[in-house]
Chains A and B, each alone.
Chain A
């Protein structure tokens, strides 16, 4: 019998094989070989692409190098979204490895945030955790932690240390048994073709009459279109970490097990494959 702990491991150790190619607009001194890398699904692009940067800088003049950014099929990839989410949202059901163009020029300011250093990622990551804990425990857990505990969470993510991260993160996942869940579930629902970046509202894991809320309940409230109507073909795929959990799955369980390290449940709603 598999254990729920295995889910956490599987989620953490999810990797996306990626092929980085320098965009043709970039000026190089010699031809740039593509660069292949296994990207952790739960991490951030700019955090794990030092090697990519080094690889391509070798063939470029220092003058031609500005801030690095990534593009997939015309979409600039937001570094502040977890990698797994970016892949699920934009490249689900495509052939692997994931082909990403690397740019060093023409930073699309309207689409992307600047990321001058890892401390920016850290600040973003920690603010997500704090926001999530505000929803889950009114911020009580994260505020009780010491500075070094916060650091442990970040270092765990940065260095891909599952145990180090979870030794601390488990505290963020606790809740009083009698309440049967968090106060609110930290979640974000993304659609590839939407003007809004994502949907985020207050949603409780248990209804006032004691009913356990499921993924289906959440979508019914937030994005009814995502749920197939009776006798209708599935129009959308609901993807979390590259899988499609059943709509009957309790949302509390999902939040505990399929949240990203930032403690949010990132749900991608993508058009169903026509096959």
Chain B
């Protein structure tokens, strides 16, 4: 998730941002100009400055915004010259687009604006649909509109090749002016006049193209404009289009979804209708009366399904009954509070600026069920600089003295900006901030003493009244408000102002063009001293005598990029408390504090002193058996399978060796006869929660039951009860195996299809050869959190990715989720959220009378179904995946379906169980469309978010546990397909610091780094690449080498161990790379190993583990089973056969942390072969875990 910020503008045009976890407003230092209004999204921020032009600030990110330009070079063969650029007259252009219809020579490409730069020169693309072409990149065909192949044939008469060049958006973290020149070609000559209001949103309407947003703007003349084509790769958008309105609009608000409301001059409101995926501009306006009959509306703010308004008497109103079918709502409710303006941000959270004290207020208690919230609460966060100046009050006193002295001019200059910023001058970088501007202009004034300085400024001001006005022009109501405030604070400003409050459209501003020109040059420190910088000098100085303790006077607030929801912890309301909480991921200071260390040491000393020599003494309290009982339901082992009521008991007692032991009893009645089933705790290999909407169930596995794929399934009445039992049983199992505390660095991690995280402590015998411990005997225990992917190495660096692509790093804790108290570490547990979509399908069949209807044939699938069509899934009966999840929106049509859709989201096919395509043909008799609904899960676990870039894949270098690495290589693929290399990942700070973007010609989907820094990757089109020259010194390598894929297969995932390279293709085949040598690390060919493989993980010992599908058990086939390759030896890296472990329903495994080699045993008889667990005597643990291996090892 990108970082979350609340933006605000104060009356002096300074822009501040505030993060939900911060207590301090940060001044946006990049702003060279006074900003009037601001509207933010997760990626960027739009603003109107005092020159009434629009500026765009795209937040800096480790991943660049790149756009690929492409053009095709076409050639035809003739007997004289062979292939040449002499084409037939009927042929396409020599340089053209992909269709051949548009002439596109290389030099016709221009950068869209000054904010872009070329990344490199044009080059030939040698990748052809995942396959490497010959050097020059030519593809051949018989004639032009035909299919191309990479091989030249006897009948190849034409050829073409693709040239590509990337351009990159460079104006990041700076306010770049959006040029008005790109006016839509439909209305030539109509330029929008200066702007007075701006609002962006609409990013929830559709996900394609990525980052699409709608930007609405209002001009001083009251016209509404829409900026077209703003998306991730085109942050500036392409053109302004005027949207006709029934009257003059003064303000507009656009929500994240399809709500757009505007306020008209007369105080009525307009609602935009018809906004949708195909028509982000909407089609028409509907009018809504002002909430109050006497007072017109002056401000409106909309969210996803809320509308808030402010009337001229400052009253706040909430609109009832808003939803996307009824964007107009049904009625107004008067709310408490008097506000100047209101803004609605993400999750319909609300902020306002109070008309009384001009402070920013947050609406508390806004939830999806209570959209109007509970109460207003003022943000007490300080601005940066506030604190330092109040602390150094002595210093500011001294400077006040200087202020009135005639002599010390230099210090007076230094002290003036003290309100804002006590940093030494020149500390800020390339972008001069307002202070420097102020300083620059002050330097121009030869003799700066207090009195003369101010009078000079005032006179300066009086000389340019129009210019000044340009900085404060706003529609009347706001003008009045600002005036009121400024009377209090800065009387001089009012003095200098011409009679204001008149509804003069500052459009008449004469000097606007000139001011614009200067700003466009971008030389704020220019000693011509333009009006903006001068006025800022004046305001700062006039503000100063009132002291820094005066709270800020805000003019505008925007929460468009501020992600807050009901469980977020906000630090905005208690600025008094020092927030020294640095959430660093390195070992937290509390953990290493001297007092803690001392207590640990003393306690162990105490135990030694008081107990060591007295072990033979009798214990005062004899250990007894402790039993916990409960009633449950049990899924009966025999036919007819059904849930039967049982009594469940866990008996715990102390074993002979001091280990805690336990037995599970399940008492049931069969044919009126009381019977029971029992399992020893030390035989349990895993406890899996199986949350369904109807029952709270969990499964208990033993090695035998893993083999049979038939666990003991139990159901309890409530979720809480299930969690209590799972926590208790899990602790009991861990105790019996001597497992305590966090998992060791060598641990094997896995995640289930439900996102549950399991970890297993490997034993040396796990990878012993030739008789390893069977992997159905591995003991797995759960760790809190929710992830889709997890990767680790033996140094303890563990990263995960959620279903929503958020990256998480392991904090070194354990527990979380339902593990509380003893089963969970106190520190290092954080809140974790995840979102995913639930999909259902709407199916229709065509009939000659009524066309497509929801009346199918009797043999058809349900008209509302799951993807397979076998289950009926209606909007009403489709439940959340489990009670842990909560819906976040309503059902929407999903257009992101493979195969494409038409405008309404339909996909067509000849009959149901066939492949669907996106457009209707004559042969199509059925159609379907996918509906999606998002849901969200909130849990806790030892995971900390790594913002802001969403990821889809990660990999970290596998190594031996004893290896010393200063920086741990960690690579990732962003959700957009960018290849990234994490910098400064260390064992102490596994989160690293930033991403290094590694350029690619196309989006990627899988990446893996091996022990010798060999990086393999797979692009989305299936091309395989090897990254050359990656080394500790050169962590990102230098170039990609295209590796041929296995014939007719598209690879989807790759894993590289010490030397072995394995890959999985889209049809579930596992491939081994042959012929890898140190001098030729790319290898020679792919060798087929196995089918039915979903994922592969190759470890630092070159051990091969997979997630397999269709594994045979005694009761069922299981998909998603953990398997390990048997017979892998240094000279036999391919192994012989599979050993089946826990499953099904497993999604991901990583063995890349396990470098525990088995001690070399020369007597195979000692191991005795892969003994089935049933052969082991009851009561002794099938797995003996030496002390070295469990969490305790770290302690010693």
- Do A159 and B626 touch (CB < 8 A)? yes
- Do B600 and A7 touch (CB < 8 A)? yes
A-B contact pairs, 10 of them (CB 8 A): A4-B827, A5-B826, A6-B741, A17-B614, A38-B619, A167-B822, A243-B599, A246-B595, A246-B599, A248-B595
- Write the A38-52 contact mask toward B (1 if CB under 8 angstroms, else 0): 111001000011010
Is A139 an interface position by the 8 A CB rule? no
Give me the 5 closest cross-chain CB pairs, A-B, nearest first.
A170-B821, A17-B614, A210-B577, A243-B602, A48-B620
* Stretch of A8-16, A62-70, A112-120, A260-268 that contacts chain B: A8-16
- Do A97 and B614 touch (CB < 8 A)? yes
- Do A1 and B1194 touch (CB < 8 A)? yes
- Do A161 and B825 touch (CB < 8 A)? no
- Write the B599-617 contact mask toward A (1 if CB under 8 angstroms, else 0): 1101111110111011001
Q: Which residues of B contact A250 (CB under 8 A)?
A: 595
Is B1168 an interface position by the 8 A CB rule? no
Known contacts A1-B1194, A163-B731, A241-B606; is-contact A96 B599 (Cβ 8 Å): no
- Do B822 and A1 touch (CB < 8 A)? no
- Chain B's closest residue to A35 (CB) is B618
A267 to chain B, nearest CB (A): 14
Is B188 an interface position by the 8 A CB rule? no
Q: How far is the CA of A241 from the CA of B825 in the complex (A)?
A: 22
Bin chain A's interface residue count.
35 or more
Q: Which residues of A contact B (CB under 8 A)?
A: 1-8, 10-11, 13-17, 36-40, 43, 48-49, 51, 96-97, 158-161, 163-164, 166-167, 170, 177-178, 209-210, 241-246, 248-250, 253, 257-258
- Do A244 and B600 touch (CB < 8 A)? no
Q: How far is the CA of A257 from the CA of B742 in the complex (A)?
A: 19
Apart from the given pairs A2-B1195, A48-B621, A158-B621, 9 other A-B contacts in the complex at a CB distance below 8 Å = A1-B1194, A10-B606, A96-B613, A163-B626, A166-B821, A241-B603, A244-B602, A248-B593, A250-B595
The contact of A242 among B587, B610, B618, B820, by CB within 8 Å, is B610
A181 to chain B, nearest CB (A): 13
Q: How far is the CA of A257 from the CA of B23 in the complex (A)?
A: 31
Q: How far is the CA of A40 from the CA of B825 in the complex (A)?
A: 25
Q: How far is the CA of A243 from the CA of B600 in the complex (A)?
A: 10
- Do A3 and B825 touch (CB < 8 A)? yes
Of the candidates B607, B617, B728, the one having the most CB atoms from chain A within 10 angstroms of its own CB is B617
Of the candidates B595, B603, B606, B827, the one having the most CB atoms from chain A within 10 angstroms of its own CB is B603
B513 to chain A, nearest CB (A): 53
Chain B residues 1120-1142 with CB under 8 Å of chain A are none
- Do B618 and A36 touch (CB < 8 A)? yes
- Do A96 and B603 touch (CB < 8 A)? no
Interface of A, helix, strand, loop or mixed by DSSP: mixed
Q: Which residues of A contact B624 (CB under 8 A)?
A: 159
Is B850 an interface position by the 8 A CB rule? no
Tally of chain B residues near chain A (CB < 8 A): 48
- Do B594 and A246 touch (CB < 8 A)? yes
Q: Which residues of A contact B587 (CB under 8 A)?
A: 1
The contact of A164 among B626, B740, B826, by CB within 8 Å, is B626
- Chain B's closest residue to A257 (CB) is B599
- Do A243 and B569 touch (CB < 8 A)? no
- Do A1 and B603 touch (CB < 8 A)? no
Q: Which residues of A contact B591 (CB under 8 A)?
A: 1
Q: Which residues of B contact A (CB under 8 A)?
A: 569, 576-578, 587, 591, 593-596, 598-600, 602-607, 609-611, 613-614, 617-621, 623-624, 626, 652, 728, 731, 735, 740-742, 812, 820-822, 825-827, 1194-1195
- Do A163 and B621 touch (CB < 8 A)? no
Known contacts A7-B600, A159-B621, A243-B599; is-contact A167 B610 (Cβ 8 Å): no
- Do A37 and B620 touch (CB < 8 A)? yes
B566 to chain A, nearest CB (A): 15
A103 to chain B, nearest CB (A): 19
- Do B826 and A4 touch (CB < 8 A)? yes
Q: Which residues of A contact B609 (CB under 8 A)?
A: 96
- Chain B's closest residue to A178 (CB) is B569
Q: Which residues of B contact A15 (CB under 8 A)?
A: 610-611, 614, 619
- Do A170 and B822 touch (CB < 8 A)? yes
The contact of B617 among A4, A36, A245, A246, by CB within 8 Å, is A36
- Do A160 and B621 touch (CB < 8 A)? yes
Q: How far is the CA of A8 from the CA of B824 in the complex (A)?
A: 13
Q: Which residues of B contact A159 (CB under 8 A)?
A: 621, 623-624, 626
B918 to chain A, nearest CB (A): 50
The contact of A5 among B596, B598, B825, by CB within 8 Å, is B825
The contact of B603 among A48, A167, A243, A249, by CB within 8 Å, is A243
Q: Which residues of B contact A36 (CB under 8 A)?
A: 614, 617-618
Known contacts A161-B626, A166-B822, A167-B728; is-contact A38 B614 (Cβ 8 Å): yes
Q: How far is the CA of A232 from the CA of B578 in the complex (A)?
A: 33
Q: Which residues of B contact A248 (CB under 8 A)?
A: 593-595
The contact of B578 among A43, A210, A245, by CB within 8 Å, is A210
Q: Which residues of A contact B578 (CB under 8 A)?
A: 210
Q: Which residues of B contact A10 (CB under 8 A)?
A: 603-604, 606-607
The contact of B610 among A16, A49, A158, A245, by CB within 8 Å, is A16
Q: How far is the CA of A221 from the CA of B604 in the complex (A)?
A: 30
Q: How far is the CA of A177 from the CA of B581 in the complex (A)?
A: 13
- Do B822 and A43 touch (CB < 8 A)? no
Q: Which residues of B contact A164 (CB under 8 A)?
A: 626
Known contacts A1-B812, A7-B599, A210-B578; is-contact A38 B822 (Cβ 8 Å): no
Q: How far is the CA of A209 from the CA of B576 in the complex (A)?
A: 7
Q: Which residues of A contact B820 (CB under 8 A)?
A: 170
- Chain A's closest residue to B812 (CB) is A1
- Chain B's closest residue to A87 (CB) is B610
- Chain A's closest residue to B605 (CB) is A243
Q: How far is the CA of A4 from the CA of B828 in the complex (A)?
A: 12
- Do B626 and A14 touch (CB < 8 A)? no
- Do A14 and B607 touch (CB < 8 A)? yes
Of the candidates A3, A13, A164, A249, the one having the most CB atoms from chain B within 10 angstroms of its own CB is A3
- Do A38 and B569 touch (CB < 8 A)? no
Q: How far is the CA of A129 from the CA of B621 in the complex (A)?
A: 22
Q: How far is the CA of A89 from the CA of B621 in the complex (A)?
A: 23
- Do B1195 and A160 touch (CB < 8 A)? no
A230 to chain B, nearest CB (A): 20
Q: Which residues of A contact B614 (CB under 8 A)?
A: 15, 17, 36, 38, 96-97
